[in-house]
């Protein structure tokens, strides 16, 4: 078989694998089928495979030669709890679950690279292929670290990759510094005294207090946080009363949302200021405020040296179609827990145009199979360059 036919056969295999994973989505910490497939393919290459880290995580280890350096490559495996609306041959077979962020593609890319590197063995050192569960807000990376990821699999550097609609499939973005914001949650309950809707003076109305809180919330970013420091505070849930009892002022209103920042200082500011505003509004209306700020995911900040290594690999694959001025995203990724432990770099791989506006977490989104070749080449080139024989 000619070399180009070998390449085509491998690409066909990876496309079929990606679409199979897409058709069988699994939520965080439920990736039993996916992790089994990953483990089987890694085992077939002859590398050592460790299962169960972080619940359903899989780590494959490939050592070639006697090079002293060890790196980790990470792919996330989980899907989202949302329906798939687009009609495609490999549409989700599980109601209410779909791969709406491309983790099926990420898993496929890293498996493809593992297969290629195990075949060519054109490096000297150790690679840990880290297949992470539960990236979508369920804490999979933190669980893997707590379960001893870097004690069992020490790394000199760790790398992550995510698809990005809007960039061409032969295009990448590699930038040092902040890439993704912290992702924290906050909850406020204003507790008043319920009463008849026609006699508000006999109670203490928490709903009106909640309205003042919501109207003032954006002053935190606009008037407290340094205007040159990006930050986001969004109220995403408001619950009060009963729509079947429209003559009742309820005892309490619950408001909750998200807060995002790129630096520890601004993250601390957001926690303090949301609470200060809640308590101030409560005092103004003579009611109580119960406040919680839940720190979930730190920001992803690329290490300069690791980024330079990733950039060299991206340029070797994509040539002049590598962007080094790509703006950071206010989305979050728990890859941050990996890159807090060792130097890390998180890069973007083009996913082509957003068809019909279907960006990440859209019910019509799909990973672009045209990006598979670029992604696999990036991973293999990164290993071969960083662990040069």
Return the active site residues.
78, 135
- Which SS3 state, helix, strand or coil, does residue 307 take? helix
Using alpha carbons only, what angle is made at residue 12 by residues 386 and 167, rounded to the nearest 5 degrees? 60
Separation of alpha carbons 243 and 252, rounded Å: 14
DSSP letters for 182-243? -EEEEEEEEE-B-EETT-GGGSB-HHHHHHHHHHHTTHIIIIIS-TTS-EEEEEEEEEES-T
Sheet containing strand 172-173, edge to edge, reads 48-53, 57-64, 125-132, 70-76, 157-164, 344-350, 172-173, 322-323
Pairing of strands 157-164, 344-350: parallel
Taking the alpha carbons at both ends of the chain, their separation in whole angstroms is 28
Separation of alpha carbons 69 and 297, rounded Å: 28
Q: Which of 185, 191, 208, 184 is nearest to 290 (CA)?
A: 191
Q: Which of 60, 51, 14 is nearest to 31 (CA)?
A: 51
How many distinct helices (H) and strands (E) make up the chain? 11, 16
Q: Which helix (H) or strand (E) holds 253?
A: strand 252-261
């Amino acid at each position: 078989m000619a070399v180009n036919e070998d390449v085509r056969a491998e690409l066909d295999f990876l496309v079929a694998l990606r679409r199979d994973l897409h058709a069988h989505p699994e939520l965080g910490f439920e990736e039993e089928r996916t992790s089994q497939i990953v483990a089987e393919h890694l085992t077939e290459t002859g590398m050592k495979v460790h299962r169960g880290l972080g619940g359903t995580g899989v780590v494959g280890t490939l050592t070639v030669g006697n090079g002293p350096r060890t790196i980790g490559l990470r792919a996330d495996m989980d899907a989202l709890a949302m329906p798939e609306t687009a009609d495609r041959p490999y549409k989700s077979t599980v109601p209410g679950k779909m791969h709406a962020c491309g983790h099926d593609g990420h898993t496929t890319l890293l498996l493809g690279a593992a297969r290629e590197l195990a075949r060519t063995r054109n490096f000297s050192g150790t690679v840990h292929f880290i297949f992470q569960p539960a990236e979508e807000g369920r804490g999979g990376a933190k669980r893997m670290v707590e379960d001893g990821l870097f004690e069992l699999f020490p790394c000199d550097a760790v790398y992550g990759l995510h698809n990005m609609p809007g960039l061409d499939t032969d295009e990448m973005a590699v930038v040092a510094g902040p890439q993704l914001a912290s992702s924290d949650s906050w909850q406020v309950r204003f507790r008043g005294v319920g009463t008849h809707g026609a006699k508000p003076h006999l109670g203490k109305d928490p709903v009106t207090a909640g309205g003042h809180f919501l109207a003032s919330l954006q002053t935190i970013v606009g008037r407290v946080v340094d205007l040159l420091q990006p930050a986001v505070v969004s109220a995403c849930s408001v619950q009060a009363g009963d729509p079947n009892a429209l003559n009742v002022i309820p005892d309490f209103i619950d408001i909750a949302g998200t807060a995002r920042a790129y630096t520890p200082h601004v993250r601390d500011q957001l926690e303090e200021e949301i609470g200060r505003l809640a308590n101030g509004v409560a005092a103004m209306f003579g009611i109580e405020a119960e406040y919680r700020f839940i720190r979930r995911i730190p920001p992803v900040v690329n290490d300069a040296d690791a980024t330079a290594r990733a950039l060299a690999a991206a340029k070797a694959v994509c040539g002049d179609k590598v962007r080094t001025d790509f703006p950071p995203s206010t989305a979050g990724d728990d890859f941050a827990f990996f890159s807090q432990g060792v130097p890390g770099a998180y890069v973007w791989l083009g996913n082509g145009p957003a068809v019909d506006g279907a960006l990440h977490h859209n019910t019509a989104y799909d990973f672009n199979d045209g990006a598979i070749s670029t992604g696999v080449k990036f991973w293999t080139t990164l290993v071969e360059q960083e662990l040069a024989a």
